[in-house]
Amino acid sequence: MKKYMLAGFAFMVSLLLTSPVFAASDVQKVIDETYVQPDYVLGYSLSDEQRTQTLELLSYDSSSDTNIETLTTSAYASIMDVADDSSLQLYSSVKIKKLGSSQTLTVTIATPENITKVTEDMYRNAAVTLGIEHAEITVASPIAVTGESALAGIYYSLEENGAQVSDDAKDLAQEELSTLSEINEENSGKDGYDADKLNVALTDIKTAVAEQGSDLTEDQAQSIVEDTLSNYGLKDVLSSNQITLIVNFALNLSKSSVIENSSFTSTLSSLKDSIVSNASSTFSNINLNFDASQALTEGQNFFTNIWNQIVTFFKNLIG
């Protein structure tokens, strides 16, 4: 009897402490195996002259590159889950080139003056959510646009080349890019705000969410987001509505298949290191070893201690 009771309690404790099992995404594998040549996706609204100009901006090599696709309004509508409207203006275009496994995911905006709403690191954060680990992505537009449709171009390229990008990943990458670009636009020029800090904070938030898994509660998500933003000096800079947008994203991420990618957190770590390296002075007085899940771990340890006390109590009770 004593043996069975102790085994039961041990099983209950193990349920609390068991970590999720991760499975890798096939997105990076498809890039490594299929993108022998760079893949170009051009916006549907480009004129012939603009197509030529955009290809030049993307460093198109006519002697070797052959993979050129066009993101149509119908494809864009399907990807972005909006009505197919022929009046949609699609100018943002992308090139995706594979990189070696030891190289970091890069995004270059060839026309920064014409991509008005999205930064390179925002694209990188969203690309990691799509499942990309290492690739060279270039974005360009011949006229001023927000740049948000470029993400649809990346998704389109992956799908056309055989990658099975989950709806979770697609929807979350869109939500992430929209959230980041909206917060960045609303806080542009505001004292204390820094886009690099926001992007690094998001890598920490996503890592903490992945470590916590699908059991993440709304209170825990709120704690992760607020603690992380505080570490980077952003909590009192962002509005409560902007913080709520990030919390909602964290909750949606926790319930998705995105965090099941075994390389997700390591890719986020590489992205964080890259952003910090490129803007080192920005982070000179910030704790870059901050662990956004520490408070949750402490809470888990608290409950573990309670369970241990319960187990000890019953051990003593039954002799």
Q: Which structural domain, as residue segments, surrounds residue 196?
A: 189-319
> Given strand 135-140, what is the order of strands in its sheet?
67-71, 39-43, 93-98, 135-140, 106-109
Question: Same domain for 194 and 145?
Answer: no
Question: Same domain for 194 and 142?
Answer: no
Q: Is 2 inside any structural domain?
A: no
Q: Which of 166, 200, 226 is the last residue of a domain?
A: 166
How far apart, in whole angstroms, are the C-alpha atoms of residue 256 and residue 167?
9
Q: Is 124 inside any structural domain?
A: yes
Radius of gyration of the chain, Cα coordinates, nearest whole angstrom: 23
Q: Is 29 inside any structural domain?
A: yes
Question: Same domain for 53 and 121?
Answer: yes
Question: Same domain for 29 and 161?
Answer: yes
Question: Same domain for 259 and 147?
Answer: no
Q: Residue-wise pLDDT tens for the chain (319 aa)? A: 444 444 444 444 343 344 333 333 589 999 999 999 999 999 999 999 999 999 999 999 999 999 999 999 999 999 988 888 888 899 999 999 999 988 999 999 999 999 999 999 999 999 999 999 999 999 999 999 999 999 999 999 999 999 999 999 999 999 999 999 999 999 999 999 999 999 999 999 999 999 999 999 999 999 999 999 999 999 999 999 999 999 999 999 999 999 999 899 999 999 999 999 999 789 998 999 999 887 566 545 545 566 666 766 566 666 5
Question: Same domain for 57 and 91?
Answer: yes
Question: Same domain for 32 and 124?
Answer: yes
Q: Which of 133, 166, 199 is the last residue of a domain?
A: 166
Q: Is 50 inside any structural domain?
A: yes
Question: Same domain for 128 and 217?
Answer: no
Q: Is 15 inside any structural domain?
A: no
Question: Same domain for 162 and 31?
Answer: yes
C-alpha distances (whole Å) from 224 to each of 209, 213, 217, 255, 258 are 8, 13, 11, 16, 18
Burial class (CB in 10 A: 0-12, 13-18, 19+), 42: buried
Q: Is 52 inside any structural domain?
A: yes
Q: Which of 97, 132, 166 is the last residue of a domain?
A: 166
Number of structural domains the chain divides into:
2
Question: Same domain for 315 and 257?
Answer: yes
Asked if residue 152 lies in contact with residue 162, where contact means CB atoms within 8 angstroms, the answer is: no
Residue 8: which residues within 8 A CB-CB, separation 6 or more?
none
Angle at 270 between CA 268 and CA 273, to 5 degrees: 110
Tokens linked to 18: 């068991």
Task: Please give the model's pTM, rounded to 2 decimal places.
Answer: 0.83
Question: Same domain for 117 and 215?
Answer: no
Question: Same domain for 114 and 222?
Answer: no
CB atoms near residue 101 (< 10 Å): 9
How far apart, in whole angstroms, are the C-alpha atoms of residue 132 and residue 29?
9
